[in-house]
């Protein structure tokens, strides 16, 4: 199923204007602008990757629980896949903007 992000945003706005059910209102993240949100997300992604690396090093030294190692490495792998997918979407959006007629 392919989703259109702008269509999702429009549907969300339409539901808000119609007085939709509670819980659909915008949340105050208390973080400010978009760049600070991206910075926090990047820091969390890096922390997840570092935790996977730390668990792997402990496993190599024989001091870690194998279950925790597998979980940390799986989380790091999923985080990396998410970051790469987001990067690809941003690059694609940028290229689409460049191709727009003026």
pLDDT of residue 84: 92
Token reading at 1? 């199923």
pTM: 0.59
Q: Where are the beta strands (DSSP E) in 20-92?
A: none
Q: Are 51 and 72 in contact (CB under 8 A)?
A: yes
Read off the pLDDT of residues 22-80 as tens digits, 9 standing for 90 and up. 554 555 555 578 888 888 888 999 999 999 999 999 999 988 888 999 999 999 999 99
Give how far Cα 89 sits from Cα of 4, 23, 54, 77, Å: 12, 28, 30, 18
């Amino acid at each position: 199923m392919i989703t259109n992000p702008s269509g999702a945003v429009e549907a969300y706005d339409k539901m808000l204007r119609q007085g939709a059910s509670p819980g659909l209102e915008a949340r105050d993240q208390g973080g400010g602008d978009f760049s600070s949100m991206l910075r926090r997300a990047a820091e969390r992604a890096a922390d997840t990757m570092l935790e996977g690396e730390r668990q792997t090093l402990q496993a190599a030294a024989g001091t870690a629980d194998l279950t925790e190692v597998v979980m940390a490495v799986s989380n790091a792998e999923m985080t990396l896949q998410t970051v790469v997918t987001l990067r690809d979407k941003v690059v694609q959006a940028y290229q689409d903007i460049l191709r727009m007629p003026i």
